[in-house]
Amino acid sequence: MAGTTGQIAPEQRKLTRAEKRAVAAKNRLSSPAASIIALAIAALWTIPTLGLFVTSFRVENDIQTDGWWNAFTRPLFTGYNYSSALQTGLGESFVNTFVITIPAVLIPITLALLAAYAFAWIPFKGREVLFVAVFALQVVPIQVTLIPLLTLYVDLGIAGSFWTVWLSHAMFGLPLAIFLLHNFMKDVPASLVEAARMDGAGHVTVFFKVLLPLLVPAIAAFGVFQFLWVWNDLLVALTFAGGDATPLTSAVADLTGTRGNAWHLLAPGAFLAMVVPLAVFLGLQRFFVRGLLAGSVKG
């Protein structure tokens, strides 16, 4: 009984304003009208992707003469487009994109985890000022850093290599990574960390055994965000990558400039450039959403 235990049943407890808004938003988003609108938006959003996919398998003459929707009434498909596109160098660029993207995701996550832990749980002089300075770096446009960085890379003799792209993406992604992971670490109850320290745990043990398992949603959220950004990047690729380190986005852009009327090559190249980030986002969507929402509501 609620009266004997001094507790109020959850269904009898008065809801706060935040909880009322959450319930109202849930009811609106789960209504049949909202579901129909969401399905319609998803269908419209998918049409260009479907058109690109169909075009990539059509024969060259059909691509040049009519729209992709006519393929359903006159189906005539071939895999020659993909083999021709890969022979133009897109296959090597496709592999280069993986070589660029994976380290460009792991490097900032590793460095940001250590920096976020220091900002959140290690007191030192000037910590707040330094954290504000790191956060302020997010507003610095990438464009203003390209020429100084390129000059530095040329002086170091690493221009045009994978190192230039790895370092550039790591530097550009670090401010957001530190800010995001720091906020998640600050949401961890201090009593949990203090209990581990009272048991004799040092910074290494607290970081790896207490905090790191709780940060998986945040790490996954930033990892997906960074992966999509690096994979789809063109500006950094055109500025720093070249030769044997050319990624897929740069190769497709070059293909567009040199073969503007070769749609039978552009379509498979563009589809290859988008299919991997699309699969990554769909596969890790739940982790991405959990990471973005975790810590946003306290209770």
d(CA 276, CA 279): 5
User: Which pLDDT score, from 0 to 100, does residue 297 have?
Assistant: 43
Structure tokens at 213: 């398992």
What's the whole-number mean pLDDT along residues 79-89?
Answer: 82
Q: Specify whether the CB–CB gap between 153 and 164 falls below 8 A.
A: yes
Strand, coil or helix: 142 = coil
d(CA 209, CA 215): 11
**pLDDT tens per residue across span 131-169:** 888 888 888 888 888 889 989 999 988 888 899 999 999
Residues 57, 174: one domain? no
Residue ending a domain, among 43, 59, 78, is 78
Q: Each residue of 279-297: b (16+ CB within 10 Å) or e?
A: ebeeebeebbeebbebbee
Residues 275, 244: one domain? yes
Is the pLDDT confidence value at 196 over 60? yes
Question: SS3 string of 107-132?
Answer: HHHHHHHHHHHHHHHCCCCCHHHHHH
Number of C-beta neighbours around residue 99 at 10 A: 14
Sequence-separated (6 or more) residues with CB below 8 Å from residue 92: 244, 246
Q: What are phi and psi of 241, to 5 degrees?
A: -90, 150
Residues 109, 201: one domain? yes
User: Is residue 10 a part of any domain in this protein?
Assistant: no
Please tell me the pTM assigned to this model: 0.77
Residues 216, 260: one domain? yes
Number of C-beta neighbours around residue 91 at 10 A: 16
Residues 137, 228: one domain? yes
**pLDDT tens per residue across span 6-56:** 454 444 556 666 566 666 666 665 677 777 887 888 888 888 888 888 888
User: Which pLDDT score, from 0 to 100, does residue 15 have?
Assistant: 61
Residues 101, 177: one domain? yes
